[in-house]
């Protein structure tokens, strides 16, 4: 069969790679590079040049078995990484990290702060209770559950929502509407509801572009800088229009963001297009730099993921989180290499190495039902939808 794959993130690349083994596949990518959120750049620092990932960073064998098998099949080398987490608030003046008991109380004032002890007790309580509520979890938003169970503000504003906002790259306040069932499943699978027996995180040696190269080498027909405009039915075929170019295909895989797929389907598939609009995407700005003032003020609290907020009050402001790449990837330098997502303050311009723009899906309780509807109807007229936004 002739198959078109639209989008070259991990979903599109892996689909095109697998389908190429038996079919004639053409891959379309709107950008001038392959990889989507996997974006490795060469950084020149301290007289050395080395690869740094600015998007996709880590995975683990337990939670990502299919990605693990794919890397093994491709011969992609990986090395150990970590997922430590810190929180820095300006109002109140609060810092802590989960690396160890010493970093939990790295700010000594936390020892004499009753609210901090309440937060710790609620963490243990949440980890114990939430996995026992499958019926409640299937029909509630995270915020409704927290309110119904009487969890305290310190737990919500100093721990749970900062962690969740950092994971899903969305405003902390937005996480209150996140489906509880999806949240619990994710946290349980990633070992976030337990102190011991957590999975070992890993990162791709040489950067994520190494797996991108290996996948792309097996795909014969790749079109970069070719955004797809529309799809339309043509008998038992699908006509794909990309700029001034069009072609007929037996099947089409739309492996792009939900809003992008919605635009492509809008003219000839309005019902499907409207459905996809219920899972919107949110833009996030990433800055690659070496300005350590973005990190916790106490160096012993530096973690792999570092959440920052001007105050504990929840806001709809894009999440500010700083990824300390030195902790996540093996770099040949002790100079901090940081990717800051939506920084509260701009890093020192003299220390900025690059700027990138990504988008992440926004999930609501309604989105879970939409995902089920899409999965049930996938393959309509030979058109298949794929991507992380489908869950």
**pLDDT one-digit tens code per residue, 258-307:** 999 999 999 999 999 999 999 999 999 999 999 999 999 999 999 999 99
Residue ranges of the domains in the chain?
Answer: 2-39+208-280+364-390, 80-202+282-361
The residue ranking higher by pLDDT, 133 or 147, is: 147
pLDDT of residue 135: 53
Distance CA 227, CA 287 (A): 25
The C-alpha angle with vertex 256 and arms to 255 and 260, in degrees rounded to 5, equals 140
Binding residues for FAD: 11, 29-30, 228
329: tokens are 């990837």
pLDDT of residue 234: 95
pLDDT interval class at 103 (50, 70, 90): very high
Distance CA 334, CA 155 (A): 34
Tell which phi-psi region holds residue 103, choosing left (phi > 0), alpha (psi between -120 and 50) or beta: alpha
CATH architecture of the domain covering 2-39+208-280+364-390: 3-Layer(bba) Sandwich (3.50)
pLDDT of residue 134: 61
pLDDT of residue 146: 95
Residue 313 predicted with pLDDT over 70? no
Residue 321 predicted with pLDDT over 60? yes
pLDDT interval class at 89 (50, 70, 90): very high
DSSP designation for 156: I
pLDDT interval class at 369 (50, 70, 90): confident
Q: What is the CA radius of gyration of the chain?
A: 22
Binding residues: 11, 29-30, 228
Average pLDDT estimate for 193-207: 89
pLDDT (tens digit, 9 = 90+) per residue, 205-257?
Answer: 999 999 999 999 999 899 999 999 999 999 999 999 998 778 999 999 999 99
State pTM to two decimals.
Answer: 0.93
């Amino acid at each position: 069969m002739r198959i078109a794959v639209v989008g070259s993130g991990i979903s599109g690349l892996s689909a095109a790679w697998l389908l190429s083994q038996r079919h004639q596949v053409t891959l379309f990518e709107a950008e001038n590079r392959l990889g989507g959120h996997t974006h490795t750049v060469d950084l020149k620092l301290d007289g050395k040049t080395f690869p740094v990932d600015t998007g996709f960073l880590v995975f683990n064998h337990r939670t990502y078995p299919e990605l693990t098998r794919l890397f093994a099949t491709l011969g992609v080398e990986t090395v150990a990484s970590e997922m430590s987490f810190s929180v820095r608030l300006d109002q109140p003046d609060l810092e802590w990290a989960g690396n160890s008991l010493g970093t939990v109380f790295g700010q000594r004032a936390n020892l004499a702060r009753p609210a901090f002890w309440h937060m710790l007790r609620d963490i243990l309580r949440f980890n114990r209770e939430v996995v026992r509520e499958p019926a409640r979890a299937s029909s509630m938003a995270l915020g409704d559950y927290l309110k119904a169970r009487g969890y305290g503000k310190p737990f919500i504003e100093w721990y749970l929502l900062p962690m969740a906002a950092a994971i899903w790259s969305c405003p902390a306040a937005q996480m209150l509407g996140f489906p509880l069932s999806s949240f619990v499943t994710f946290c349980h699978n990633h070992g976030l509801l337990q102190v011991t027996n957590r999975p070992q995180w890993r990162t791709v040696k040489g950067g994520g572009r190494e797996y991108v190269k290996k996948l792309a080498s097996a795909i014969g027909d790749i079109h970069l800088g070719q955004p797809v405009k529309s799809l339309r039915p043509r008998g038992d075929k699908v006509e794909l229009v990309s700029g001034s170019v069009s072609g007929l295909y037996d099947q089409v895989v739309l492996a792009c963001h939900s809003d992008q797929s919605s635009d492509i389907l809008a003219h000839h598939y309005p019902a499907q297009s409207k459905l996809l609009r219920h899972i919107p995407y949110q833009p996030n700005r990433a800055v690659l730099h070496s300005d350590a003032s973005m990190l916790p003020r106490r160096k012993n609290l530096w973690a792999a993921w570092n959440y920052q907020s001007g105050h504990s009050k929840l806001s709809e402001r894009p999440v500010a989180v700083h990824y300390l790449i030195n902790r996540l990837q093996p770099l040949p330098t002790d100079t901090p290499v940081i990717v800051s997502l939506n920084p509260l303050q701009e890093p020192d311009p003299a220390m900025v190495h690059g700027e990138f723009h990504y988008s992440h899906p926004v999930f609501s309780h309604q989105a879970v039902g939409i995902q089920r509807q899409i999965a049930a109807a996938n393959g309509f007229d030979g058109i298949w939808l794929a991507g992380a936004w489908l869950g």
